[in-house]
């Protein structure tokens, strides 16, 4: 069965979607069967892979609201060897529609049951909030949460709140939910503050911070406009090499944990 991870941070602009896309792409390039789930109403992961979000019919919205099966709405990229459960603007209304539903927190988990056996990894890109849609991502993430953290001071402020949310979800809905790791993103080696932030996060989350640090990169910023992950756009760029290293580190860690 697939390893399912949710990428979560209620703070926007921390590289969450960039990490979801590029981690997924490199896992696929390394021979893993990967499904990327775009659970964000902004549909940035969908657009960044060259899919017109306004032409998505159903997608993740249908799986959450209409009891659809994820396997009925997947898009496949033979070039990237990657599958996508796309998002669309319709998902913006799902937060309200979920409120009155039974088992509202488990809709995504149920929907993925039809597809997860076909994949080694399912990566869920959650919205930058801690509402019902993100809650669905957390409950579905049976193998843990990956938290991208921008290497700036204000990025530290929300980590406590996010940790508390994960603890509450673990207690009430998903007893096995853990933090798989924190990914330090947008690192600028010229700024002493960046190193201080990395050290502070490692201090508060000992053993939970990935060794790979993602640098600031013009190529990473450009890639979405071409509808490509960095692995296809500029694999030899600093950002490309960093995400490849992150995927390799994750595979190694998961293999070690499985043995």
- One digit per residue, the tens of pLDDT, for the chain of length 259 reads 899 999 999 888 899 999 999 999 999 999 999 999 999 999 999 999 999 999 998 899 999 998 878 888 999 998 889 999 999 989 988 888 988 888 889 999 999 988 889 999 999 999 998 889 999 999 999 999 999 999 988 777 778 888 888 999 999 999 999 999 999 999 998 888 899 999 999 999 999 999 999 999 999 999 999 999 999 999 999 999 999 999 999 999 998 877 6
Among the listed residues 205, 163, 161, 166, the one whose alpha carbon sits nearest the alpha carbon of residue 184: 205
Domains of the chain by start residue, with CATH: 3-258 (3.40.50.300)
Question: How many Å apart are CA 86 and CA 211, to the nearest integer?
Answer: 30
DSSP H helices, the chain, are 16-29, 44-48, 59-65, 94-99, 107-112, 132-140, 159-172, 192-204, 218-222, 230-233, 238-258
Characterize the bridge pairing of strands 121-125 and 82-85. Answer: unpaired
Scanning the structure block, which residue is given the tokens 């990395």?
198
């Amino acid at each position: 069965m697939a390893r399912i991870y949710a990428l979560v941070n209620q703070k926007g602009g921390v590289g969450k979607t960039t990490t979801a896309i590029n981690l997924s792409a490199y896992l696929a390039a390394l021979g893993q069967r990967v499904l990327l789930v775009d659970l964000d109403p902004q549909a940035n992961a969908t657009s960044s892979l060259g899919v017109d979000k306004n032409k998505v019919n159903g997608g993740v919205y249908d799986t959450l609201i209409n009891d659809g099966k994820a396997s009925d709405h997947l898009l496949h990229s033979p070039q990237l060897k990657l599958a996508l459960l796309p998002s669309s603007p319709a998902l913006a209304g799902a937060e309200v529609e979920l409120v009155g539903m039974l088992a509202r927190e488990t809709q995504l988990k149920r929907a993925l049951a039809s597809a997860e056996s076909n994949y080694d990894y399912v990566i869920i890109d959650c919205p930058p909030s801690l509402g019902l849609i993100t809650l669905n991502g957390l409950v579905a993430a049976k193998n843990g949460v990956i938290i991208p953290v921008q290497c700036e001071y204000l990025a530290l402020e929300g980590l406590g709140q996010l940790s508390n949310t994960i603890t509450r979800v673990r207690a009430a809905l998903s007893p096995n939910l853990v933090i798989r790791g924190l990914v330090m993103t947008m690192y600028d080696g010229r700024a002493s503050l960046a190193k201080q932030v990395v050290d502070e996060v490692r201090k508060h989350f000992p053993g939970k911070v990935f060794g790979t640090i993602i640098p600031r990169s013009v190529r990473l910023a450009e890639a979405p406009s071409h509808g490509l992950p960095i692995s296809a756009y500029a694999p030899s760029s600093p950002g490309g090499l960093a995400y490849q290293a992150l995927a390799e580190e994750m595979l190694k860690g998961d293999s070690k944990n499985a043995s």
